[in-house]
Structures are given as C-alpha cells and as structure tokens.
Structure 1
C-alpha cells in the first residue's frame, strides 16, 4: 500500500465502519432513487458498459457497483484507490474474490507510482461531488489521473450536480443539508461544466443527466486524435 496524503477532508469522515454498513440501504437504495432520481441499477449498468478487466477505481465507497457489474475475466487486475482507509478495507473484503490491490491516495495529488503500468479503464465514482470548489477547479482530478492511463483508456463515473435540484422538494431539503454538513460540495456544479472539462482533455465525451446524477464517460486520445 502506498500513501501520499493531504489533510483529511470533511467528506470522508462520514465513511466510518458503521456508516459503510448502512450506506448501501440508506444512500444507494433509498436516497439515490427517491431523492436524486437515479436508480442504482442505472449506475451498475454504467459500470458494466465501461469497466474492463484492467481497471482502477478511485473513490471506491462500499464497492457496491464493482460488486455487481461483472468483469470480462474472472481474474481482473483491479486497483482500489481512496483517501479513506475504511472504504479501502470494506471494499477489498467485498471484492476479495478478485484479489484487488489497495492504494491510500488523494485524487487531488498526481496518481504516480502505482505498479503494473497503465489501466484500460479508470472510474471516478461519486468522488467529484465530495471535493471542494466548482467543477472547473475540481477538474484537475482528470489531469492527476493521467499517470494511470494510456491512449484508449476509458474514463467514466458519476457525480451529483445541481442541475435538477430545484425540481423536487425532497432535493431542495436534502441537498443544502449535505452541503452544510460538508459531506458534499456541489452547489456550483453543473453538467455543462463537467462536459467542458472532459472535452478539453479527452475524446468521445458523454455526460448523461439522470435526475441530479451526471453519468459521464470519455476516452484518452491518441497523439493523432489530439492534433485533429
């Protein structure tokens, strides 16, 4: 395990051992579909569509989607990367059948030093809305993951954005509470800014808004495609 850490962020404090055990029934299966308007099966399918057998997952949470998406190979190369040790331990146990490697890292730092070479897919699941600042500022995470990638690597994930929050009373109640508790910081996040950040760095960029959840995907370009 490698460790290169900045000061702990408020957003990771919610992921206690107890919090991780209630996270799936409370957040994934209740809040996500009923408040944010995105069924968990939609996110599982998003993973299925983009994950490869040579995969790095950043901001692993409980490993809910990795546990359900399936891999092309029964023995994938799977790297779990997170700033919260509880999340890494919980998810590694859950996915022990794949023998994942775990790395204690901060996505706000460049992702250098992981052994084994670049990955064919890299996911940023539910981590962007936990970072402080607006999306143009947060988008430096796409630069920091460059050491994990090569031309053709799939970049994908999901994040809560403010688009659609005013449309439901439940969202207008829950959204400010989570921001006030500093569990998330996404009041200034817009799906258009996410698409712009991806398009400035990658090709084949797509952002799909489902409720308040922006599902995104992109591909690391080759030198030739960059020149076009």
Structure 2
C-alpha cells in the first residue's frame, strides 16, 4: 500500500491526546468492544488475569485500564511501559502510581527493537495495538520478532486485535472500520486470522488464538529467537 510506516505510526500516536484518553475507556472499551467488535472487555481483562507475570512489559498502553485492574501474582510486580504516545504513557503511569505501582516508561515503536533493558520478561502484552500498526502482516509482523527478543523462554506473549477480513461484521462495524482506516487510527483493512496466525508462528512455536466477534485474542509461547 506504499505506507510510510514512520509517518503513519506517528500520526496514529498523535491521536492519543489527553482529551481523547479522557473518553477512551468509555468509548473504546465500553461502546466499541461491546457493540461494534462484539468482544466485551471482560474477555480482555481475563486474558490479563490469566497471563500477567511479576515482570511484565506492556506495549501500546492506552489508559492503563487493564494494568490497573489486573490480578498480579504478587503485590509488587515490576512493570515496563512502551508506547509512541507521551500522553498515553503519562496517563497510564499516573494511574498506576495511584494504585501503588511505579512503572518504567519508554517511548518507542513496536516496529523497531524495543527500547528496554536487555533482559527477558515473564509476560509481554500488546492489547488493541496491532490493528493500529501500519502495513500488512508481512511487514507489521516484525513487531512479533521484536517482542520475542524480549520474552523469557518460559514467558508468554498475549494480546488482542480487531480483524477486518473473514470475520463476522454488521453495518456498525463496517462503518466504524472504514472511518478508522480512512483517518489513520486503524491500519487493518487486510488483517485476517490466517495472516495473524502465520505472523505469530514465525516467532513462537506455541500459539493459541480465540475469536470473539471481530476480535482475535491470543497467547504465544516459546520464542523461536533466543539470543
């Protein structure tokens, strides 16, 4: 599609202003997840509760909704945040500190080597992120290679994304998808389940994907790229 990935990513990140973040939970996690994509947010919360570790990396943090509500294995987990949006990082970090958690914060792109310490995390999450990443699965799938490089051999990578091809739709989801893709918030016009699975399986040897409405929820284990 000839997308300038850097420009497209930065344009998408700029959409996450503090004004937008003030309504994000209600609009995205409330209205859109339930009525547009038909994947109630409780399923994403369950994904966190089932997989989050005491040494967790979260990429594309939104408002920190899931991190603030997650059930951690201990009372003092180590959290690292990566996002291109400075307001999203600031809002999430502030809300986590109000819960007594003090995350590390890094500005970075999932399409580049992640700007974190050279260590392996017990869990990595990318929730509601990949449908915002420019390109098709052949190009945006490089994100999974960068994530695999940060994951412990016994760790788990989990996430969720809205698919656009081969999934059940209705007039509301089709109209929303067209609008979001046209204004550069989404880049998922060609995103399908087969492409997602192939991209994950290039980097992880054990992949499980569950579909709920238009949304894919996955866990991926055993990174192939051990360095």
Same-fold call, TM cutoff 0.5 = yes
Which residue of 2 is the match for residue 3 of structure 1?
none
Gapped regions of structure 1 (runs ≥ 5): 1-5
Cα RMSD of the aligned pairs, angstroms, is 1.8
TM-score normalised by length of structure 2: 0.90
Whole-Å separation in 1 of the counterparts to 2:14 and 2:117: 28
Deviations along 1:43-83, one digit per CA (max 9) or x if unpaired, are 10011111111100000011111111221111001001111
Residues 1:221 and 1:26: Cα distance change in structure 2 (over 3 Å): closer
Q: CA deviation at 1:131?
A: 1.1
Tell me if structure 1 keeps the 8 A contact 2:151–2:223: no
Which residue of 2 is the match for residue 153 of structure 1?
155
Which residue of 1 is the match for residue 110 of structure 2?
107
Query: For residues 54-65 of structure 1, what are the structure 2 equivalents within 5 Å?
Result: 54-65=55-66
TM-score normalised by length of structure 1: 0.90
Which residue of 2 is the match for residue 21 of structure 1?
22
Whole-Å separation in 2 of the counterparts to 1:185 and 1:148: 25
Q: CA deviation at 1:89?
A: 0.3
Figure out how many residues of one structure are paired with residues of the other and give that number: 218
Whole-Å separation in 2 of the counterparts to 1:177 and 1:86: 23
Gapped regions of structure 2 (runs ≥ 5): 1-5
Whole-Å separation in 1 of the counterparts to 2:15 and 2:223: 36
Tell me if structure 1 keeps the 8 A contact 2:168–2:213: no
Query: For residues 16-165 of structure 1, what are the structure 2 equivalents within 5 Å?
Result: 16-96=17-97, 97-112=100-115, 114-115=116-117, 117-163=119-165
Residues 1:221 and 1:110: Cα distance change in structure 2 (over 3 Å): closer
Whole-Å separation in 1 of the counterparts to 2:144 and 2:186: 19
Name which of structure 1's ranges 23-32 and 213-222 shifts more when overlaid on structure 2: 213-222
